[in-house]
Each structure stands twice: as C-alpha cells, then as structure tokens.
Amino acid sequence: MKNQKTKVGIIGATGYAGIELVRLLLAHPNVEINAVSSVSFKGRAISDIYPALHSIYDVKLGDEDSVIEQSDVVFAALPHGLSEPIAKKCVRLNKLFIDLGADFRLDSQDTYKEWYEKNFDEPELHKQSIYSIPELHRDRIKDAKIIANPGCYTTCIPLGLAPLIKSGRAKLDTIIIDAKSGTSGAGRGLTQTTHFPELNEGFCAYKVASHRHIPEIEQTISQIAGEEVKVTFVPHLIPINRGILATMYINTDCKDENELYDMYCEFYKNDRFIRIMPLGQTVNVKNSKLSNYCDISLHFDKRTGRAIIISAIDNMVKGASGQAIQNMNIALGFDEGAGLDAIPPSF
C-alpha cells in the first residue's frame, strides 16, 4: 500500500546527482519522494528545469527545511561545506541522513582541512557518521544515522584495488591510478572547460596528482591494507556524458591473470553489483552505463610483473545516486538492490 512507503526527500535536487536521485527514487518500490528542494530554482516545477521529467514528475521545488520536515530519509546532493547543519537537524529529528557531498567522508579533521581548507564545524557529528561503499563496508551501516556516500573516483578505484590489497600480494608503494571520467562528473555548473565546443574532440588530464579524492581513496585502501598507503592519481576528462574508468597499475607477486581472476571472483562472490569480466575481455564504461554495476577486468603484464586492473562504473549511479540508494536499502533493511535493477543498454 502506498502509505507504507518510506518518505524520502532530496536537498539539492536540481544538481546532477540530485536529479539522478529523483529519477532512481521515482522507480524505487519501497519509497516515495515527498519533497525536493533547490536554492537556485525554488518555486519552479522540477520538470521545467529538466524537461525529461515532463508529465512524470512536475512537483514544485521547495526549501531545505520543508524537505527535512516531510521526509524520514533525507538525501543531500550539495557542494561541500553545506551538509553539517543539515546533518545536525536530521539527527535531532531522528531522520536518516545520506550525504552525497564530501563533508563527512574523511575521518581525520587534519586531512579534511589540508584538502578542503576548512575545519569540521560539528566534530561530534562526525563520530556518528559512517562512510560506506557497501561492498566493503556493508556491515557498518545497519544502524547508521548519517551515511557519508563516497564519490565517483572513490568508489570505482577502491573497488578495483580492494581484493589485491587485501590479499597482501601487492607492492603497496607502486600503486598508480590513471582515471578517466565522463563530463557529468563536473556537475551542472557552467565552466569554460565544459563548454561544448572546447571540450568536444578534446582530451586532457586535470588536477594532476592533486585531486581532492586522493585522501579519500587512500583512507579506504589504507584501512584494507592495515597500513598507510600513498597513491599517484591522475584524472582525465573524456568527452562523453557518463562513466568512469580507472586503469590501475600495481607491482605484485602474482604470476598471471588467472590468479587475479580467482582472487577477485572469490572476494566479490556475494556482491551482485560487481561484475568480474571473463579473462580476455576489457571493460568499457558503456557497459555499466545507467546501471549500478561496477565492472572489473584483470590483466597482467608478464614482461614487467605488474597487475593492471581496470574498473568502470556509471559515475552518477554507482558513483553517486545509485550507491546512495544502495546504502539506504541496507540501512533500512530493504533488499540491497531495490530500485537498482536497471539493465545497462548496449548502445
């Protein structure tokens, strides 16, 4: 019955992660969207801003407080620095808060300050927040009040590295991550870089070895390794809409691809959203597009003794809104894949 559905709300619904939450949650069997907000477009119909929703979801955008009030689960998809006061209200009102921004992702205030040039305003809140890539941290979030949902690179990369690092067979100071992202990762805001005639038919790196996702990646894999790991990380921009692909290089004492393949299949044997590609195949971002899958292919350079691991996700689904829903599903005891069963189109 409709009135048994969980009431959810979205703060920042007109950003790309926000509108993707709308699209996915509208099709979720266990929830209903009760309220959406936007600072930029308050008072306008959401389908005015995104005509793809015309006749499907024409509700008016409200404000942050009305979303919190009307929802049992509050998602925020905002630039960093805005989530702590929202989290505070949600905790006080006993609402589950799921943050797609960066504010609760880093455990260490020092690290946060180093990369985001800002202190924690509410250090106490951070103790109640749980960072979760479900395949790695599923057990943590059963009773979470605040869930820090990882970003796109920081999901794709640790999922690709975790089994090899966990195995103890990686040389930890040799990790190099060459990542490539579709353009929706840059968000809805206008920049010269994402102006069509300048981005189209181009390809470039950006924030070379200085991207803010570095400490988040290192935090996750250091926990797995049981020691501090540093990585070299270079992101690039692909002239496509969606998708992240990371090519990762690590020295290892594994002997061939088969060892890697067995290791990864075993590690992820209970994870429906991880697809280890058959040996000989190479992942392509298009094959996980619009789905919650993380595809991983395993390669080995015998000539140099390096494992080459390639993983790909849809940056807006598994890399943002889909994973946030997956986290919600676990926290609320729904089926982990509820609302996330979209089959990626082949073209």
Residues of this chain, 139-178, that bind its own copies according to CB under 8 A: 173-174, 176, 178
Handedness of CA 264, 267, 272, 274 (dihedral sign): negative
According to DSSP, the residues that pair with 243 across neighbouring strands are: none
Our CA angle for 39, 41, 47, nearest 5°, is 135
Identify the residue among 94, 124, 197, 269 touching its own copies (CB under 8 A): 197
CA 207 to chain centre: 19
Secondary structure class of 305 (helix, strand, coil): coil
- Spell out where 70-162 has E strands: 73-76, 96-99, 129-131, 146-148
Cβ partners under 8 Å of residue 342, min gap 6: 290, 291, 292, 317
Q: CB of residue 51 vs its own copies: minimum separation in angstroms?
A: 5
Binders of its own copies among residues 327 to 346 (CB under 8 A) are 341-346
Do 176 and 232 touch, CB atoms closer than 8 A?
yes
Binders of its own copies among residues 78 to 137 (CB under 8 A) are none
Give catalytic status of residue 204 as yes or no.
no
Does position 10 interact with its own copies (CB under 8 A)? The reply is no
Number of residues in contact with its own copies, rule: CB under 8 A?
87
Does position 4 interact with its own copies (CB under 8 A)? The reply is no
Do 222 and 162 touch, CB atoms closer than 8 A?
no
- Residue closer to its own copies by CB (options 158, 182) is 182
Does position 236 interact with its own copies (CB under 8 A)? The reply is yes
Instruction: List the catalytic residue out of 152, 156, 254, 294.
Output: 152
Q: CB of residue 339 vs its own copies: minimum separation in angstroms?
A: 12
Identify the residue among 95, 126, 212, 306 touching its own copies (CB under 8 A): 306
Using CB under 8 A, which of the segments 21-29, 79-87, 96-104, 105-113 binds its own copies? 21-29
Binders of its own copies among residues 241 to 300 (CB under 8 A) are 241-243, 245, 247, 249, 275, 277-278, 281-290, 295, 299-300
Residue 161 carries which DSSP code? H
Does position 196 interact with its own copies (CB under 8 A)? The reply is yes
How long, in residues, is the chain?
A: 347
Q: CB of residue 300 vs its own copies: minimum separation in angstroms?
A: 8
Give the residue among 289, 308, 341 at the shortest CA–CA distance from 182.
289
Identify the residue among 111, 167, 194, 223 touching its own copies (CB under 8 A): 194
Using CB under 8 A, which of the segments 55-63, 111-119, 152-160, 323-331 binds its own copies? 55-63
- Residue closer to its own copies by CB (options 148, 310) is 310
Give the residue among 334, 317, 340 at the shortest CA–CA distance from 30.
334
Distance CA 324, CA 133 (A): 9
Convert 215-224 to b/e letters by CB count within 10 Å (16 or more is b): bbbbbbbbbb
Distance CA 248, CA 269 (A): 22
Does position 183 interact with its own copies (CB under 8 A)? The reply is yes
- Residue closer to its own copies by CB (options 17, 73) is 17
Identify the residue among 191, 228, 258, 262 touching its own copies (CB under 8 A): 191
Q: Which residues are catalytic?
A: 152
